[in-house]
Amino acid sequence: MRSSTSCWRTEPIVYGKGLRALSLATALILTGAFAMVFFYAPLDADQGFVQKIFYVHVPLAIVALCGFVAGGICAIQYLRTRETKWDMRSYVTIHISVILAVGVLVTGSIWARASWGHWWVWDEPMLVSFLIVFLLYATYWPLRFSLEDKEKQARYAAVFAIVAGAFVPLNFTAVRMAEQYIHPETLATTTGGMPGKFALTFVICLAGMALLFVTMIKYEMASKHATFRLRSLRRKLAGDDDELTLGGRSAAPQL
């Protein structure tokens, strides 16, 4: 969608451009993916209908993992350029990835319950490592919130994002190695010997999740950007911008 207010036209970065097209594409692919899951992909021989959760669970996990690493990369860029937009990107990416991580935990738990009768199983490396990752990233917000100075907040958050982003793949590998003798990994079934229909459905689901991720990121960035512009305009209207102290502290970065 094209922005129509004149002040937006002077902004070098315009958020919200193309958001409608992106949302449509995401909705389309996701609907198609789910249709495929229910009608196209054959039933799994031993797990039955329950196995279909796998088409949500694993793509969510893969996208979330990539999201966490991407958050770390944005943080590296922030430390190199000191431009707040990178801090914003890092923050939003981590935020959405944590939401996806909760999704992974929930879908994984449902799968575990349906497949093995327990709401939690320790021999699913994906589930276990996401629990650890979730616990780690849950401290991102208290950390940001407790640092008042915005520049310091962004810098420390960037350090955290880098350390945590590096940790995510290492953790996953370590946990997987710990369990590999007990339970065959689900990923082996996705990379290696997956018959055609499974593979196609999976790939479409993965693409859908990735698009969903990107759409959510763009929405959040656009919304934050709009809030910031609004506040900045309000301040300018009120006159001197250092007389006005805005609200309280916040964990979110400001552009």
List residues near another protein by CB under 8 A: 79, 132-133, 135-136, 138-139, 142-143, 146-152, 155-156, 158-160, 162-163, 166-167, 170-171, 174-175, 177-178, 242, 244-246, 249
35 vs 177, beta carbon nearer another protein: 177
Q: How far is the CB of 235 from another protein (least distance, A)?
A: 9
Q: How far is the CB of 119 from another protein (least distance, A)?
A: 21
113 vs 235, beta carbon nearer another protein: 235
Q: How far is the CB of 146 from another protein (least distance, A)?
A: 4
Alpha-carbon span 112 to 107, nearest angstrom = 9
54 vs 140, beta carbon nearer another protein: 140
Q: Strand pairing partners for 241?
A: none
Instruction: Specify whether the CB–CB gap between 104 and 172 falls below 8 A.
Output: no
Q: How far is the CB of 46 from another protein (least distance, A)?
A: 30
Taking the CA atoms of residue 75, residue 77, residue 80 and residue 82 in that order, the dihedral angle to the nearest 10 degrees is -70
Q: How far is the CB of 7 from another protein (least distance, A)?
A: 21
Alpha-carbon span 57 to 60, nearest angstrom = 5
Q: How far is the CB of 97 from another protein (least distance, A)?
A: 15
Angle between helices 84-116 and 150-179 (to 10 degrees): 30
Burial of 187 (0-12, 13-18, 19+ CB in 10 A): middle
Instruction: Give residue 61's identity as a one-letter amino acid code.
Output: A
Alpha-carbon span 238 to 41, nearest angstrom = 60
29 vs 161, beta carbon nearer another protein: 161
20 vs 236, beta carbon nearer another protein: 236
67 vs 208, beta carbon nearer another protein: 67
CA count, 13 A, side-chain hemisphere, 65: 22
Angle between helices 54-81 and 125-137 (to 10 degrees): 40
Instruction: Specify whether the CB–CB gap between 211 and 30 falls below 8 A.
Output: yes
